[in-house]
Amino acid sequence: MKRDDLRQLLLEELGNLAPEADLGAVPPDVDLREALDLDSMDFLNLVMALHKRLAIDIPERDYAELRTIDGAIEYLTARAKN
Amino acid sequence: MGEFVMPSLGADMEAGILVEWLKRPGETVTRGDIVAVVETDKGAIEVEIFEDAIIDRLLVDVGTKVPVGTPLASLRTIGQAGAVGPVAAAPPGAAAPKEQATPLPPPSATIVRPAARPAGMPAAGDATRPYASPAARRIALERGVDLSGVIGSGPGGAVISIDVEKAAGATKPRAAERGPDLAAMRRAIGAAMARSKREIPHYYLSRVIDLTKATAWLESANAPRAPAERLLLQVLTLRAVALALRSRSGFNGFHTATGFRPSERIHIGTAVAIRGGGLVAPAIHDVDRLTLDELMGRLRDLVARVRAGTLRSSELTDPTVTVSSLGERGADALFGIIYPPQVAIFGFGAPALRPWVVGSAIEPRTIMTASLAADHRVTDGHAGSLLLADLDRLLQQPAQL
């Protein structure tokens, strides 16, 4: 999966969690939990959605790498096949 | 004959709008069934019934705002003949069978809908039929507006033409907007908290708890699990609170005019933030009897329903104690205000890595400040301290939770 497609998919899932947010205005390097007011349940739901859609394993110890848009795209690009 | 009334869904509620009937006259209902949907400051709430009965008559039409305690439907006991139930009383006209086959209108159709009432409704109209000016009635007929769903602004609450125009012009009826009115919620929270501070002599305690063992246990428990099966730290703290409450009395129950009434069951009001502001603390029932996985399932379901605005009445009225957790991005500590008629609230700050003395060395440990606000009419700081110590001890043995 291409980087742009992964970005699209990530933004889509973030939009599901924070429907009122203007995702285009979120700087790619800030903590999403802060920028979008995500709690630990929201973050777990994000991980669940990414796990389901991309069929990749995301262990808890990797959560820190998913905290920003840039970080998450980097992480997903390295792991998502095809 | 019994009655199904507009429930009080918390100390801060005075009235609610009936937005949907989920049962029809003649239907048999069982304790726990959801009978109606009521809109409150906390959003749309599914209201359950607390007895086995047959719905006799619906007394309040959809779209009507009524005070707490107002009968919404009359009930008859199972086996008792229906006296004046609309189903029995409906004339054998051509419209009746047709209407009976029609499902209840969805909330979006509650205010603007065909002028003809469903066959199941007319008997209720006699009691609650709104006063309306002749002009308003004419416009209502022309534009297909059900007057019973229109809130009147004329003398004595009478519906006048402008009210009908407004109702007809409403592209999105209020009842369809699931989700809370945040300004109203802010007022309601303010009123409940002011009452609490006025009436409840609070005392506050805090205890710094080392969560290193709990988080390590959680990490190893979650490692082999798929994301959907993973547990959150909040599940451990909720469970520990429930177990601690089981062995110390005076913190779980209601304080009313007749004094403190302890509760055998432990229903934890779990504070959940609403996106955009506001919060609710609906109950997770019998937390002391749930496994961690069951508790996680309940928590997940509750948070999802808070976000979707589909809470149930019992969840708002049942909490016997409240827990508010700030989560990993929150402040260090939280000192709560008791939600009447409860007598205690726990507050959990954000866990964080801090220097901590272990034995004679300083180590980085995951530390969280737990607080307890409790009611001096029932307990004192000594009892509260013991409760927090129990909580600490339980969290040091996460595998036992």
Question: Is cis: bond before B97, omega within 30 of 0?
Answer: no
Find the chain B residues whose C-beta atoms sit closer than 8 A to any C-beta of A. Answer: 219, 222-223, 226-228, 230, 232-234, 273, 275-276, 299-300, 303, 327-329
Give me the residue from B232, B276, B328 closest to A20, CB to CB: B276
Mean pLDDT of chain A: 91
Q: What is the pLDDT of residue B246?
A: 95
Q: How many helices (H) and strands (E) does chain B have?
A: 11, 20
Residue in B closest to A57 by C-alpha: B226
- What would the two tokens of residue B331 be? 């402040």
Give me the residue from B227, B233, B329 closest to A34, CB to CB: B329
The stretches in chain B having pLDDT less than 50 are 83-129, 171-177
CATH T-level fold of A3-17+29-79? 1.10.1200
Closest Cα in chain B, distance from residue A3 (Å):
23
Amino acid at B274: I
Specify the CATH architecture of the domain B182-400: 2-Layer Sandwich (3.30)
Domain boundaries, chain A: 3-17+29-79
Distances in whole angstroms, Cα of residue B357 to Cα of each of B187, B361, B367: 45, 6, 11
Q: Is A20 on the interface with B (CB under 8 A)?
A: yes
- Cut 0.80: pTM above it: no
What's the rounded Cα separation, in Å, for the pair B199 and B195?
6
Tell me how crowded residue B96 is: count the other CB atoms within 10 A of its CB.
Answer: 16
What's the rounded Cα separation, in Å, for the pair B367 and B332?
10
The helix (H) or strand (E) run that includes residue B29 is strand B28-29
Q: What is the pLDDT of residue B132?
A: 66
Token pair 């069929």 is found at: A55
Exposure b/e, B160-174, CB count within 10 A at least 16 = b? bbebbbebbeeeebb
Contacts of B210 (CB under 8 A, 6+ apart): B356, B365, B366, B367, B396
What's the rounded Cα separation, in Å, for the pair B38 and B9?
10
CATH T-level fold of B2-176? OB fold (Dihydrolipoamide Acetyltransferase, E2P) (2.40.50)
Exposure b/e, B1-22, CB count within 10 A at least 16 = b? eeebbbbbbbbbbeebbbbbbe
Q: What is the pLDDT of residue B133?
A: 62
* Chain A neighbors of B226, CB-CB under 8 A: 51
Q: What is the pLDDT of residue B155?
A: 59
Q: What is the pLDDT of residue B303?
A: 93
Q: What is the pLDDT of residue A19?
A: 87
Amino acid at B249: S
Report which DSSP code applies to B384: H
* Chain A neighbors of B279, CB-CB under 8 A: none
Rg (CA), chain B: 25
Give me the residue from A19, A41, A60 closest to B300, CB to CB: A41
Amino acid at B291: T
Residue in A closest to B296 by C-alpha: A41
* Chain B neighbors of A60, CB-CB under 8 A: 219, 222-223, 230
Residue in B closest to A37 by C-alpha: B275
The stretch A31-60 carries a mean pLDDT of: 92
Q: What is the pLDDT of residue B100?
A: 38
Q: What is the pLDDT of residue B275?
A: 82
Q: What is the pLDDT of residue B170?
A: 53
B242 burial level (CB within 10 Å; 0-12, 13-18, 19+) = buried
Q: Is A59 on the interface with B (CB under 8 A)?
A: yes
ipTM of the complex: 0.91
Q: What is the pLDDT of residue A62?
A: 93
